[in-house]
Structure 1
Amino acid sequence: MQDYAVFRTPETINYGRNAFGKIGVEAAVRGNKAVIISDKIMEKLGYVSECRDLLRKEQIESAVYLGVESEPTDRFVEEALQLLQDEQCDVVISLGGGSCIDTAKAIAVIATNGGHIEEYMGLKRIATSPPLPHIAIPTTAGTGSEATDATIITNTSNDVKMMIKQPAFMPNVAIVDPLLSVSSPKSVTAATGVDALSHAIEAYISRKSQPMTDMLALSSMEKIVRSLKKAYEDGENIQAREEMSLGSLQAGMAFTNASVCLVHGMSRPIGALFHVPHGFSNAMLLPAVLEFSKEHCVERLADLGRFFNPHSGVSDKAVAEIAVESVKQLCLELNIPNLEGWGINHTEFQQVISKMAEDAIASGSPDNNPRIPTKQEIEKLYQTCYSYQFSSQKSVSN
C-alpha cells in the first residue's frame, strides 16, 4: 500500500428498496430544473415518467434525453449537453445503466467547465469549476458508475474508448434501488453481475489497493458470489437483487479508489472497436486474465476462493486455483459467450490485436495488475480469449 491514500465517494448515498422515491427531495435541494439522461428502454418500462412525477411533487420540472444507446459516445454527450443548455437545466439526473450515468457525468462537468469531452482525457484539461449537481440512479447491478469519479466515453473520430478520471466526475448523489433492477433481462443480469465481480476482484488485487477499498471489495465479492446466480435464475428474487445492487455499489466505491487492472485495460478496446457492451467484454476476459495473474496474487485470490468454497482447508495456492476455476464455472453457468461466440469476425479481430494491446497499455490500467504484462503478453491474451472455453474439468462445488 502507498504511504497515504485518498478515498472518494458521492456526498450522499440512498440505497435499498424504494430508494427511488427520494429523487424529488434530492433534486429540490440542488436546483430548479433537471435534465434526465436515460434511454428508450427505461422510458418503455415507465421509469422515466415515474421519475418526472416524483420530481413534479417537489416542484422540479424536467427535460428528457433518451438518445443513449449501448456504449456512450461523444455524440451522445454533445446532444445531451445541447438539450441541457437549451432547456436551462441546473440539475443532471442519470437513470439507467452505466452508459446513461457516464454520459451524465460528462455533461455535468462540461456544462460548467466548457470544452469537449476528449479534452479531459489524460488530464489535458482539468475541471476547475464545480460541475452541475448530478444524481445517479442505476437500474442494473453492475457498473458501479454511480459511485465512481470516472467516465468512459468512446471518441467516434478514432474509435478509442476514453477512460477519463477526475474528482469532478463523481456524482453528488447515488440512489441505488434494487427494485429497479428486477426488469433486467437474464443476459444483462449476467453480464453486469460479472462486471461488478471483476470490479471487486481488480480493486482487491490492484497494486493501489488500500484498507478502505479492501473492506468494500471483500464485502462485494462475498455478496456477488452468493447472489449472482440466484438473481440470474430468478429475476424476481428481491433479496438476491438487493445483495447484487449493494455489492455493485461497494465494488464501485472500491475500484474508483483502488483502480482497476488488466481486465479493464483490455476490455475497453474491444468495446470501442467491436461495440461489445462493457459488462460482456469484462466477463469474456476475466477468467483468462485471472489465470495469467494468479501466481502474483495467490493470497488475495485465495480470499475470493473461500467465498466460493468456504469449507476449504487447503493451501492458499490451491484455494486461489479454486477461485479461478469457480469464476470460469460461473461464467459458463451464466452463458457468457467468448469473443468468437459473440460474433466477432476472426480476421478482423486479428488485424486490430496490436492496436488493442497498445490502447490497453495507454489506458494505464494494466500497470495496476499484480503481474504487469508486456504488449506481447496482452496480444497473446487477446488470442486466448477469442475462443476461450469456460468449462472446467475440476470440481469447484461447495
Structure 2
Amino acid sequence: MEFSIKPAIALYDSLKGFVEAKALGEGDLIVTNEYVLSPQLGGEAAPCDVLYQEKYGQGEPSDEMVDAILGDIKGKQYKRIVAIGGGTIIDVSKLLLFSDEYNVEALYEQGSALKRERELIVIPTTCGTGSEVTNISILEFKQKKTKMGLAIPQLYADEAALIPDMLNTLPYGVFATSSIDALVHAMESYVSPKATPFSRMFGKGAMEKILKGYQKMQDAGEAKLPDDMEDFLIASTMAGVAFGNAGCAAVHALAYPIGAMYHVPHGKANHMVFEATFNMYKELGADLSPAEEVLAEIFACQPEETWEKMFALLDFVLQRESLGSIGVDSDVAGEMAASVIQNQQRLLANNPLELTQEQIKIIYERCI
C-alpha cells in the first residue's frame, strides 16, 4: 500500500499577498490568462514575465499549443514557473519544466527519463482539475483525435497555493463543470482497486463538501455560484490527492474522445457519461458498496437509493446533454470505444472491473 502528498499546500488571502510572500521577480514566469491576472493585481504590472495562454489558442490544451509556447520561451533562463488558472494553464505549465531541446512529442517519449530544470507553483482558479497536486498533464493530440496523459514524478508542483478569492468571478457554467469533474475524481478513485484508507479519506472529504454544497444550492432553489467558494476549492484539491494516488477510470477515459472530437469541456463530458458508466458497473456486479456507504450518509437514505439521488442532484446543478445532441451516433460510438481501448489503458486499469470495447460502446449508445 502506497500513499503520498507531494506538493506543499498553502492558503493565501489574496494574489497580491502571494506575490509578496514569494518575492516574485526576475527569473520567474507567470503562465495565466489576461482576464484572470489583471483584476487580481488591481491594474498594476506583474513583477515578472507573464505569458498569456490565449495568445496560443482557446480551449483545452493541445500538442500544437504547447509546442508554440515551448518555442517562445526557448533560451529564457527561468527558475520558477507560476501557473495561475484552470486545467489548461496547469497542464501546459507542467510541460515547461524541462530542457529547451524537447518538443511535446519528445517529452512524452522521454517520460520518466526527463530531467527537471525549473520549480513550479500552481494557483488553481477553478474547483475541478485537482492538477495542482497531481503528477499528470493531459493534452489533446490533434492527429490522434484523442487526449493522452503524461504521468511522471517530475510533474508534481513544488507548491499548491490556494486562494479562494480567485474563484469568486467564475462563470456559473465553469463552476458547475469543474466541480462535477472534482466529484468524479473523488468517486472514481474511491472505487478504484488502487484505493487505500488514506486516499479514501481525502475522497470522502471531497464528496461530502461538493455534494453538501450542491444540496445547499438545491435547498435555495437556484443553480447559481455559491457565495463561499472555499469549500469547493479545498474539495477539488482533496479529490486531486485522492485520484493522484488511486487513479481515475472509465468515466474519464470515455470523456476524452468526446472532448477531443467535439470540443466539449472536460467536466461536461464527464457528466454526459458518468451515470451510464456506473450503471454498467452495477449491471456487471462491481462492488460499489464503499461509495454507496458514503453517499447514504450524505443523502440520509438507503444505499440502493443513493445513485438516483446523486444523479438527480447533479442534473439540478448542470443540465445534462445527450451525446446525440452533439452529433454522436452508433457508428461514432463504436469509433470512440475503439479509441478508448487503444489510448486509455492507463485509466481503464483503475476500473473496479474490466470493461470490454463492446461494453464501452453500449455505455456511449445509452448516452445518445
Distance in structure 1 (CA, Å) of the matches to 2:244 and 2:106 = 21
Deviations 1:204-256 (A, max 9, x none): 10111112211100111111111135468442512xx1110000000001101
State yes or no: 1:18 paired with 2:6. no
Question: Could you say if the C-alpha distance between residues 148 and 191 of structure 1 is closer, same or farther in structure 2, counting changes exceeding 3 Å?
Answer: same
The aligned length equals 358
Q: What amino acid maps onto 1:99 in structure 2? A: T
Residue pair 1:263, 1:289 contacting (<8 A) in 2 also: yes
Shift of residue 127, structure 1, vs aligned partner: 3.8
Question: Hey, what does 2:186 align to over in structure 1?
Answer: 200
34, 53, 56: which one pairs with 2:28?
Answer: 34
Q: What amino acid maps onto 2:263 in structure 1? A: H
Question: Could you say if the C-alpha distance between residues 13 and 20 of structure 1 is closer, same or farther in structure 2, counting changes exceeding 3 Å?
Answer: farther
SS in 2 for 1:125: helix
Question: Hey, what does 2:196 align to over in structure 1?
Answer: 210
Distance in structure 2 (CA, Å) of the matches to 1:155 and 1:38 = 22
119, 123, 129: which one pairs with 1:143?
Answer: 129
| Poorly superposed stretches of 4+, deviation over 6 Å | none
Distance in structure 2 (CA, Å) of the matches to 1:141 and 1:119 = 31
Residue pair 1:265, 1:363 contacting (<8 A) in 2 also: yes
Question: Could you say if the C-alpha distance between residues 208 and 27 of structure 1 is closer, same or farther in structure 2, counting changes exceeding 3 Å?
Answer: farther
SS in 2 for 1:202: helix
Question: Hey, what does 1:66 align to over in structure 2?
Answer: 53
Q: What amino acid maps onto 2:231 in structure 1? A: E
Distance in structure 2 (CA, Å) of the matches to 1:153 and 1:160 = 8
95, 103, 120: which one pairs with 1:116?
Answer: 103
State yes or no: 1:5 paired with 2:2. yes
Residue pair 1:203, 1:259 contacting (<8 A) in 2 also: yes
Shift of residue 297, structure 1, vs aligned partner: 2.3
State yes or no: 1:371 paired with 2:357. no
SS in 1 for 2:311: helix
Q: What amino acid maps onto 1:5 in structure 2? A: E
Shift of residue 340, structure 1, vs aligned partner: 3.8
Q: Percent sequence identity over matched residues?
A: 27
Distance in structure 2 (CA, Å) of the matches to 1:131 and 1:51 = 32
SS in 2 for 1:134: strand
Deviations 1:170-192 (A, max 9, x none): 11111111211111111111111
Question: Could you say if the C-alpha distance between residues 379 and 51 of structure 1 is closer, same or farther in structure 2, counting changes exceeding 3 Å?
Answer: farther
Shift of residue 112, structure 1, vs aligned partner: 2.5
Shift of residue 287, structure 1, vs aligned partner: 1.4
SS in 1 for 2:139: strand
Distance in structure 2 (CA, Å) of the matches to 1:96 and 1:285 = 26
Q: What amino acid maps onto 2:2 in structure 1? A: A
SS in 2 for 1:164: strand
Q: Which stretch has the larger CA shift, 201-210 or 83-92?
A: 83-92
158, 164, 167: which one pairs with 1:181?
Answer: 167
Residue pair 2:259, 2:269 contacting (<8 A) in 1 also: yes
Shift of residue 20, structure 1, vs aligned partner: 6.3
Distance in structure 1 (CA, Å) of the matches to 2:142 and 2:235 = 32
Deviations 1:328-375 (A, max 9, x none): 11222013322347x4114xx444323321332231212211121100
State yes or no: 1:162 paired with 2:162. no
263, 267, 290: which one pairs with 2:255?
Answer: 267
Distance in structure 2 (CA, Å) of the matches to 1:206 and 1:65 = 37
Distance in structure 1 (CA, Å) of the matches to 2:171 and 2:14 = 20
Distance in structure 2 (CA, Å) of the matches to 1:133 and 1:292 = 42
Question: Hey, what does 2:270 align to over in structure 1?
Answer: 282
SS in 2 for 1:72: coil
Question: Hey, what does 1:392 align to over in structure 2?
Answer: none
SS in 2 for 1:371: coil
Structure 2, unmatched stretches of 5+, are: none
Question: Hey, what does 1:102 align to over in structure 2?
Answer: 91
Q: Which stretch has the larger CA shift, 297-306 or 205-214?
A: 297-306
48, 65, 90: which one pairs with 1:76?
Answer: 65
Shift of residue 260, structure 1, vs aligned partner: 0.6
Question: Hey, what does 2:210 align to over in structure 1?
Answer: 224
Residue pair 2:138, 2:147 contacting (<8 A) in 1 also: yes
Question: Could you say if the C-alpha distance between residues 351 and 38 of structure 1 is closer, same or farther in structure 2, counting changes exceeding 3 Å?
Answer: farther
Residue pair 2:32, 2:50 contacting (<8 A) in 1 also: no
State yes or no: 1:244 paired with 2:232. yes
Q: What amino acid maps onto 2:66 in structure 1? A: V
SS in 2 for 1:296: coil
Residue pair 2:74, 2:100 contacting (<8 A) in 1 also: no
Distance in structure 1 (CA, Å) of the matches to 2:162 and 2:20 = 14
Shift of residue 382, structure 1, vs aligned partner: 0.6
Question: Could you say if the C-alpha distance between residues 220 and 52 of structure 1 is closer, same or farther in structure 2, counting changes exceeding 3 Å?
Answer: farther
Q: What amino acid maps onto 2:94 in structure 1? A: K
Distance in structure 2 (CA, Å) of the matches to 1:301 and 1:73 = 34
Distance in structure 2 (CA, Å) of the matches to 1:224 and 1:128 = 36
Deviations 1:129-184 (A, max 9, x none): 12411111111111111111001011122222111111111111111112111111
Residue pair 1:112, 1:131 contacting (<8 A) in 2 also: yes
Distance in structure 2 (CA, Å) of the matches to 1:13 and 1:193 = 19
